[in-house]
């Protein structure tokens, strides 16, 4: 990432615990090949509540990005995901928008790691043996992808246009509402 400027406001009332220990942060970033972005976050020092989102500085069209992860080098490809975006990985899983959804800037490996953590939680907390077995098999698949031994597609659909997969190999389409 290029230049960044950050504004921080401390001591705000937390929407969850009501203590005045919430930190509001707005970071302006210039993301190469994407443009100016604003990353908004709030985190409470008392109850650990956290929320973040990303917005492009200029209005963007609803979009769908499709990217094939073909090798280990592809794991480093930059991903910008807004809280409104859906991340789909066929035959692996998805990250759906909702009240707890967050925007972030990461890479393909970071997206896979987030999904891996969700599957590990299912594996560790699920009581149904069939579900546990499916989770273990899915974890093996994800690990093979992280090792560069298996190909997959990642699809990001964002009605706000505030998401992107930043690579010449990524296919961008207009998302139909």
pLDDT above 90 for 70: yes
CB-count burial class (<10 Å; 0-12, 13-18, 19+) for 22: buried
Instruction: Indicate if the pLDDT at residue 168 is higher than 90.
Output: yes
Burial readout 78-88 (b: 16 or more C-beta within 10 A, e: otherwise): bbbbbbbbbbb
Res. 1: pLDDT tops 60? no
Global pTM reads 0.75
Residues 6+ apart with CB under 8 A from 59: 161
| 2 pLDDT higher than 70 | no
Q: What is the pLDDT of residues 6-44, one digit of tens each?
A: 899 999 999 999 999 999 999 888 876 677 888 899 999
> What number of other Cβ atoms are within 10 A of residue 104's Cβ?
17
- Give 3's pLDDT tier (boundaries 50, 70, 90): low
CA distance 56 to 38: 6
Which domains are delineated in the chain? 1-58 (2.20.25), 59-177 (2.60.120.1040)
Region 65-91: mean pLDDT is: 93
Residue 72 has pLDDT above 70, yes or no: yes
Q: Tell me: pLDDT of 83 over 90.
A: no
Give the rounded percent of residues in the chain with a pLDDT score beyond 70. 96
- How much is the pLDDT for 175? 87
Helices 129-146, 108-125: axis angle to 10 degrees equals 160
Show the tokens assigned to 152. Answer: 């997959």
User: Which pLDDT score is estimated for 52?
Assistant: 86
Distance separating alpha carbons of residues 45 and 42, to the nearest angstrom: 10
The mean-pLDDT minimum among 3-12, 42-51, 64-73, 143-152 falls in 3-12
pLDDT digits (tens, 9 = 90+) for 112-131: 998 999 899 999 998 999 99
What pLDDT was estimated at residue 53? 84
């Amino acid at each position: 990432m290029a230049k960044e400027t950050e504004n921080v406001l401390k001591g705000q009332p937390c929407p969850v615990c009501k203590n005045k220990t919430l930190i509001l942060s707005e970071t302006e970033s210039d993301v190469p090949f994407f443009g100016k972005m604003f990353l908004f976050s709030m985190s409470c020092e008392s109850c650990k509540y956290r929320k973040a989102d990303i917005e492009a500085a200029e209005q963007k069209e609803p979009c769908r990005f499709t990217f094939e992860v073909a090798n280990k080098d592809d794991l480093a490809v930059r991903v910008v995901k807004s809280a409104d975006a859906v991340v789909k990985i066929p035959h692996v899983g998805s990250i759906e928008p909702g009240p707890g959804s967050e925007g972030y800037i990461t890479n393909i490996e970071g997206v896979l790691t987030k999904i891996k953590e969700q599957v590990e939680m299912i594996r560790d907390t699920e009581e149904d043996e069939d579900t546990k077995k499916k989770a273990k098999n899915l974890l093996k698949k994800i690990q093979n992808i992280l090792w560069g031994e298996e190909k997959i597609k990642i699809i990001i659909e964002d009605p706000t246009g505030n998401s992107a997969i930043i690579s010449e190999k990524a296919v961008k389409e207009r998302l139909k509402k």
